[in-house]
Amino acid sequence: MRSNTAFMTPISRNKPCPCGSGKKYKHCCAERDAISHPATGQMISIQIETGQWVPVPQAMEQAVRLHQQGRILKAEVIYQQIIQAQPNHADAQHLLGVIYHQTGKQDLAHTHISRAISLNPKAALFHNNLGEVCRALNRPEDAQASYARALALQPELQEAQRNVGLTLLEQNKLDEAAAHLRQVVASNENYTGATGRWGPLWYGSTKKLKHSKFATAA
């Protein structure tokens, strides 16, 4: 049987937040969770084998730690338990949706991230990630609407600006895609997310394609 000490390894607040923002956890969901879901003393079981019970905020930290480590099935179970105890926990709803997106369960992802948005409609990243789910569902118009809402709430959110460009690229709207991706790079020359796995971006106003500045290896 695993000891309680080993199981309760502290979360790495300096690791990337599993929500996909690119920020450290302590500067992302940890801050929002502390504001939106103060400690209530409510207890839930997060490891059936040991019968251990911990407060909801501590359970959330454990779920995020597991999510950061790529142990998403274990994280999924804890997010589900948190939601069972506190259905209005926006971050648990959101991150469970992120897991479903990562595992290809896009309809469930859409349901949970939409629920998170209904609970916290001003969280720009929630709208951005809903856009990513819509993109995966081949709903580009809905994706663009979600990205637009994210940018209206947080104009500097580079992930949303990038995703607008990538969605346009998928629709073969090359000039428009290039314009959005240039804007991302112009705002941060060190930002590589505008290219990523998409490789060379080809664009041009005529049938003749020209190689752009975004030609980088995936």
CATH classification at residue 84: 1.25.40.10
Is 218's pLDDT higher than 60? no
Tell me what pLDDT residue 175 has. 82
Which helix (DSSP H) or strand (DSSP E) does residue 166 occupy?
Answer: helix 158-170
Domain for residue 58, yes or no? yes
Is 63's pLDDT higher than 60? yes
Domain for residue 210, yes or no? no
Domain for residue 191, yes or no? no
Domain for residue 185, yes or no? no
Structure-block tokens of residue 190: 């060190």
Lowest mean pLDDT among 63-77, 116-130, 189-203: 189-203
Is 49's pLDDT higher than 50? no
Domain that holds residue 15: 11-120
Residue of 43, 60, 40 whose CA lies nearest to 52:
43
Tell me what pLDDT residue 189 has. 60
Domain for residue 137, yes or no? no
* Alpha-helical runs (H) found in 56-139: 56-68, 72-85, 90-102, 106-119, 124-136
pLDDT > 70 in the chain, percent: 63
Strand partners, 44: 54
Structure-block tokens of residue 151: 């940018």
Span 23-36, pLDDT tens digits: 666 666 655 554 44
Domain for residue 64, yes or no? yes
Q: What is the mean pLDDT of residues 74-100?
A: 94
Return the higher-pLDDT residue of 190 and 92.
Answer: 92
Structure-block tokens of residue 161: 């600006």
Lowest mean pLDDT among 89-93, 97-101, 167-171: 167-171
Strand partners, 45: 53
Tell me what pLDDT residue 200 has. 38
Tell me what pLDDT residue 44 has. 63
Is 51's pLDDT higher than 90? no
In this structure, are strands 210-211 and 202-203 parallel, antiparallel, or unpaired? antiparallel
Tell me what pLDDT residue 64 has. 93
pLDDT band of 45, cuts 50, 70, 90: low
Tell me what pLDDT residue 201 has. 40
Lowest mean pLDDT among 13-17, 81-85, 86-90, 100-104: 13-17
Domain for residue 212, yes or no? no
Domain for residue 3, yes or no? no
Structural domains counted in the chain: 1
Q: What is the mean pLDDT of residues 175-182?
A: 82
